Structure 1
Amino acid sequence: MSGIAGLYHTDGRPADRHVLRRLLDAQSHRGPDGEGRWDGSSIALGHLALDTTPEARREDQPLTHSGDDLVLTADARIDNRDELTSRLKRGRDDGPPATDAELILRAYRRWGDESPEHLRGAFAFAIWDASRNRLFCARDRMGLRPLHYCWSEPHFVFGSEINAVLAHPAVSREINETRVADFLARIHLSKEYTFYEDISRLPPGHHAVINRAGMHTSAYWTLTLPDERKLGSDEAYGEAFREVFAGAIKDRLRANGDAGTFLSGGLDSSSVTAMAHKISSGPLHTFSVTHEQIPEVDESAYIRAVLDRGDYRPHLVAGGNHDLLADFPGHLASQQKAPLAHTPSLMQLLHEAVHDAGLNVVLDGHGGDEVTSHGHGYPRELARNRRWGALIQDLRGSLQNKDPSWPGAFAAYWLRYGRLPNRIGTGLLRLLQSVGLSVGKREPPRLISADLARRTQMADRRRRHRRQAPAAAPTERQCHFRQVSGTMQPGALEELNQMASLRSVEPRFPFWDPRVVEFCLSLPSDVKRTRGIGRQILRSGLRTVLPERIRARTDKSEFRPSVIQALTRSSLDVQTVIEGMEDALAPYVDMNVARSTTDRFAQDPSGASPADVVSVLQLLRLGFFRIKSRNPKDYQEPQTAS
């Protein structure tokens, strides 16, 4: 994992190498292993190196080809190296294996704009093509590596991080109110927008050409819902998944030294860890957070269940050793956004542990819920098909001793999809809700101000979000597809990438391998969920790999108690901090709702509803971001790894 940056003037004016220097300095934490710069007449490219593969130690970027007619800067890990090497081999080659950057450049030389279609892995790159007087940029299929840019004709500026683009003197810090409104409304409708009006992201699976004719962006790959896979038995499905998943893990274990895994004790991280251990030749480093002071959150018993079955080198991090409020501003120095993560400082503890152990690669189970699917759309599919007996079995399995209760949930489905006229069913549903029968989730506080909602046409945006939401899909397969292809996923992956880069660590995500994603999307609904229990493909596919205690888990630790502890044990007071943010929040937030929500939390933190806890975190994240963005020198960038 590395950092890339560049600037290009399509009108031919000279590129300022001093400005390129500023772009690189703004994301210097991405390049502990070296830096390179190249400039032509109207183009300047830069590279910051973090050597996370064996071949990366021989890379020298920006990489030139054939007398500088092609110049590449890339943040890339290419997984189909053997295939590309065979297809792109030029005559006798007795030298060392080609680096990933060399393979990308050779692929472009062979296939031009179609070259990204032939690459498998995680990448974001830019190629200056002097013979055609243009810049070509591309990003991997799932958005595993970031690429942000500002296009203000005739100027194009890009960087791995928003910080780099903001370092250009011509780039405005004007806030994108639509993105702020969506954040407050808890919706996400674009893979391109950021919190800054002038800055966009190149969407996953896209490439862009920038030349004198302007900027043209197009998709070279789009995730589609594959045909349903028919294999005949649970054992056959499990064996096929295990093969695909093992391939994704193996590709991500290619490291410059040892690789580790995050191990939380949940099904996803345990699956990654157990499979990585099975493939690895030596002891596997694991990194886990423990919460000994909060028993209902602590996963130590599940972590031990994995560790007891193999040769591991465990690293345990105390979950209480961070100050969430005091640490927030430092994280914004890299993110330049209101972060999606509830507790970024806790993730930073894990990344520090990875770095302190001498590693720079860690496999992360992020995405397992979405990719292997809980089957949340299956009950709706059963109800639409009026399979009431199967629906009762499913709801009893998934909602036993939970709120809403399974009878309440069944009543809601029956009233909506039964044979009653829609008007009568809706009226009865409201009647049941009015007398206290729990049939759905309570509405969270609406933080967005009326003015901002009106300016950003929030009512229309909410309707659009509801139409696109997984919950609106008629079948489980379509619901699953919407979860995986949703607009929020690239932003989450970028955020995890940037948090890890502050400690010179590259996170890798096996569940987001396109092969794994497409395989899981092809599964029939009843293969993914049985009697209300989802992610069956993980449970059956890794039956011989996972401890039974993990494989049979249907629960998950709730985030709320640990977040409440982090907020209440901070050196800062939540209510005082949010009061101090009012000037920054007022243009966007209904401050009466913000104050009442914060008051409820302050009066009884341990009894706060999940919706109130999330709302308090939203206020803090947005408030810290706005203070930082208005006064960029108020906070220093977090200390990077030495």
Structure 2
Amino acid sequence: MCGITGWWNSKSKIDHDLFYRMRDTLTHRGPDGFGSYFSADDKLALGHRRLSFLDLSDTGTQPLSNEDQTIWITINGEIYNYKELREDLVKQGHKFKSNTDSEVVIHAFEEWGMKMLDKLEGMFAFALWDEKNQKLFLARDRFGIKPLYYYFDNEQIIFASEIKAIIENKNIPREINKKSVSEYFIYRYIPSPNTIFNNIFKIEPAHYIEINSNLDIHKYEYHKFKFDNINASRKSITKKVDELVRRSVGIHIRSDVPVGSFLSGGYDSSLMVKYFSELKEGINTFSIGFDNWDKSEHKYAKIVSDKFKTNHKSEILGQESLDILDMLMYYYDEPIADISIIPTYQVSKLASENNKAVLSGEGADEFFAGYTWHRDYLWHVDKKQIRDSKKWGWELPINNFDIDSYSKAMAMGNFDKDELTELLHPDFHSNIPEDTSEFYRKFYDESLPIPKRFQFIDIKCFMGELVLTKVDRASMANSLEVRVPFLNKEISSLMLSLDQKVYYDKKKQKVLLRNILKKDLPKEIIERKKQGFTGPDDYYMDFDWYKNNLKNSELIKAKIINKKAVEKYLDEKDHWRLWKVAVLEKWYKKWLCQ
């Protein structure tokens, strides 16, 4: 894992010292080394901060080039099938100077052009410079595991793994995108391709952009998920999933340095650790727990660790850990209000003290229908769910679960147009979306069976925009690489091709994974109710903390939010809305008040 940055200026030469400072804001992503490339006319620069795993020698230093230095790359990520691709490329006559997966991408581009993206199995964000054709390519992996941002005006394009590298250049204006403020409160994140800043954008998952010498930008989507409704026996598919996940774990632990694993005691991490421990003894595993919480996952993780004989380490969090939110805003240079940003950072910190890379289970809930809304709301309605509908305040009957219902279920502090109008200063009202579910609606496909409609939104929105961003920032803040074996091309293709009856069981969560694990783990684990990586509600209900952190609000002073709305949330003890306000307050102080 690494940090990348670059700058192409059509009018003037690159300021080398400034570019080095921009590159080195990403040192936490790559503390093991650095490199830069400047074109002959000094108008293009590529930068790299290295976190090394394969070929630890200097031959792996980036940016890397082909033999005649006409193609250059700076890449963040891992290509897990690089050995197989390299063998094919050698047969085609390509010559390699390193043993890195990064160099494989260069030669793959020479052989197949950008169609090579279909062949890559891995997580990546890269910039590739084609000197002969004077073209720059910026690309992200199909799931959105690795980030890539860019700033564009008529004279230049600047890109980086994180926004902080771009705005280290003080000539880049830090102007808030007013619509993005509304979207932050609606979704807990700012959907691609926009960011919190005007004129700074995200490359969307499964996309690349091509920039020519006139700085014309052309965007392409190179991968679309394909759905089918193939019926097959659950037994045969369980066997196939066993085979595919086992193989993916084996590929994901390829490294010249030791790899560990997160372990929550849930199905996803337990299955990874099962396969991992069969391939290597005595692996390190890591979990986080919470004070005085009977659902604290560190207890369940210990049971699984004992079964698979891992070297397990855990840490218990208390209320005092809320105080690290100020520090976290340096790494979350675009605000994200997921409630698990603190525990995700803490478990990454714990792991980084022992390993440079770990496995994690992101993607399993999306592809195996493991979220509570998959189980509770999409197939069957019972009396409890009707009661829950009243609790959540849904306007529509729960058995008519639709985009608006999904939006409210996902909000964790719902902000519709009326609520946004009350919270935001009048200067922001014209930028409040008419449809506060529009990003979800973008991926809503009525041609799919109802469960798959929402699985697809989970993949493109919840996972691709929030979950993977959270994990990337928390892990990279600690110079830790997180690898996600469930986000594998074969696994995703198989699961989306199946009739949902094959992989869904109303009474048994993620039934395919359960079938694999049930012979190895005790009933306490197998029958454990699904829970997110969050912590107890009380952890987020310290209202004295909210009062202290919002009493001299910079957002109010800057005429972004209204004081009366904040006072109302405090009076009503509306901790979910307060959490969103508090995170944005901390972010604003870090990035716009200094």
Residues 471 and 450 of structure 1: CA distance in aligned 2, closer, same or farther (over 3 Å): farther
Structure 1 pair 331–6 and aligned structure 2 pair: CA distance change class (3 A): same
Deviation by residue 1:506-533 (Cα, 9 ceiling, x = unmatched): 0112222232222222232222322344
Structure 1 residue 341 corresponds to structure 2 residue 338: yes
Tell me the residue number matched to 1:299.
Answer: 297
SS in structure 1 of the partner of residue 339 of structure 2: coil
Q: What one-letter code is carried by the residue in structure 2 that aligns with 1:564?
A: D
2:551 alignment partner, SS class: helix
TM-score, with normalisation over the residues of structure 1?
Answer: 0.81
Letter of the 1:328 counterpart: L
- Give, in whole Å, the separation in 2 of the partners of 1:473 and 1:592: 44
Give the alignment of 1:221-232 within 5 angstroms: 221-231=222-232
- 1:289/1:461 Cα in 2 relative to 1: closer, same or farther (>3 Å)? closer
Aligned partners of 1:496, 1:330: CA distance in 2, in Å?
Answer: 16
Aligned partner of 2:568 in structure 1 is 596
Q: What residue number does 2:404 align with? A: none
> What is the DSSP-based 3-state SS (H/G/I as helix, E as strand, rest coil) of the residue aligned with 1:8?
strand
Spell out the pairing of 1:124-143 with structure 2 (5 A cutoff): 124-143=125-144
Residue 325 of structure 2 corresponds to residue 351 of structure 1: no
Which residue of structure 1 lines up, in the alignment, with residue 406 of structure 2?
Answer: none
Q: Give the unaligned 5+ runs of structure 1.
A: 383-390, 418-438, 602-611, 633-642
1:290 and 1:456 mapped to 2: Cα distance?
40
Q: 2:497 aligns with which of 502, 519, 522?
A: 522
Give CA deviations for 1:26-72 in whole Å, capped at 9, x if unaligned: 21222211111111111111111101335677402111223321121
* DSSP-derived class of the 1:3 partner: strand
Per-residue CA distance 1:365-401 (angstroms, 9 max, x = gap): 233322211374677765xxxxxxxx46xx47xx489
Residue number in structure 2 paired with 1:25 = 24
* Distance in structure 1 (CA, Å) of the matches to 2:189 and 2:26: 26
- The corresponding residue for 1:502 is 477
How far does the alpha carbon of each residue in 1:551-571 deviate from its partner, in whole angstroms, 9 at most, with x for none?
Answer: 23234278463x5336639xx
Q: Structure 2: how far apart are the matches of 1:541 and 1:28?
A: 41
Are 1:246 and 1:275, in contact at CA under 8 Å, matched by a contact in 2? yes
In structure 2, the residue matched to 1:637 is: none
Deviation at 1:182, TM superposition (A): 0.8
Q: Contact 1:539/1:551 (CA < 8 Å) preserved in 2?
A: yes
Farther off after superposition, 2-11 or 590-599: 590-599
Q: Secondary structure at the match of 1:214?
A: coil
Deviation at residue 117 of structure 1 after TM alignment: 2.1
Letter in 1 for 2:281: G
Query: How far does the alpha carbon of each residue in 1:418-440 deviate from its partner, in whole angstroms, 9 at most, with x for none?
Result: xxxxxxxxxxxxxxxxxxxxx99
Partner of 1:319: 317
- Residue 512 of structure 1: aligned partner: 487
Instruction: Specify whether residues 364 and 56 from structure 1 end up closer, same or farther in structure 2 by C-alpha distance, changes over 3 A only.
Output: farther
Secondary structure at the aligned position of 2:124 is classed as strand
User: What is the SS of the residue equivalent to 2:486?
Assistant: helix
1:374 aligns with 2:370: yes
Asked if structure 2 preserves the Cα contact closer than 8 Å seen for 1:187 and 1:462, the reply is no
Alignment-derived partner of residue 580 in structure 1: 552
Matched residue, 1:246: 246
* Cα distance change of structure 1 residues 191 and 284 upon mapping to structure 2, 3 Å threshold: same
Check 1:473–1:236 CA distance in 2 against 1; reply closer, same or farther (3 A cut): closer
Corresponding position of 1:5: 5
CA distance in 1, matches of 2:211, 2:65: 19
Write the deviation string for residues 144-166 of structure 1: whole angstroms up to 9, x where unpaired.
11111111122011111111111
CA gap of 1:268–1:28, structure 2 versus 1, over 3 A, is same
Aligned counterparts of 2:457 and 2:487: Cα–Cα separation in 1: 15
Q: 1:273 aligns to what?
A: 273
- Determine the structure 2 residue equivalent to 1:99: 100
Counterpart residue identity of residue 514, structure 1: K
Which structure 2 residues correspond to residues 100-179 of structure 1 after superposition, within 5 A?
100-179=101-180
| TM-aligned CA distance change 1:373 to 1:453, over 3 Å | farther
2:538 paired residue among 564, 585, 590: 564
CA contact (8 A) 1:55 1:100 kept: no
Aligned residues: 577
Q: Is the 8 A contact 1:54 1:256 kept in 2?
A: yes
Q: Give the secondary structure class of the aligned counterpart of 2:295.
A: coil
TM-score, structure 2 as length reference = 0.87
Moved more, 19-28 or 334-343: 334-343
Q: Distance in 2 between matches of 1:76 and 1:441?
A: 30
Residue type at the aligned position of 1:627: K
For the residues of structure 2 that align with 1:64 and 1:189, how far apart are their CA atoms? 35
2:586 is aligned, of 585, 607, 624, to 624
1:423-442 map, 5 Å: none
Alpha-carbon offset, residue 172 of structure 1: 1.1
- SS of the equivalent of 2:264 reads coil
Matched, 1:330 2:304: no
Equivalent residue letter for 1:241: V
Distance 1:553 1:360 in 2: 30
Question: Equivalents in 1 of 2:221, 2:443: separation in Å?
Answer: 23
Q: Is contact 2:339-2:534 (8 Å) kept? A: no
**Further displaced range: 573-582 or 311-320:** 573-582
Q: Is the alpha carbon distance of 1:270 and 1:472 closer, same or farther for their aligned partners in structure 2, counting shifts above 3 Å?
A: farther
Percent identical across equivalent pairs?
22
Cα 1:531/1:121, change in 2 over 3 Å: closer
Report what 1:310 is aligned to: 308
Query: Cα offset for 1:315?
Result: 0.6
AA of the residue aligned to 1:371: F
The answer as to whether partners of 2:181 and 2:196 remain within 8 angstroms in 1 is yes
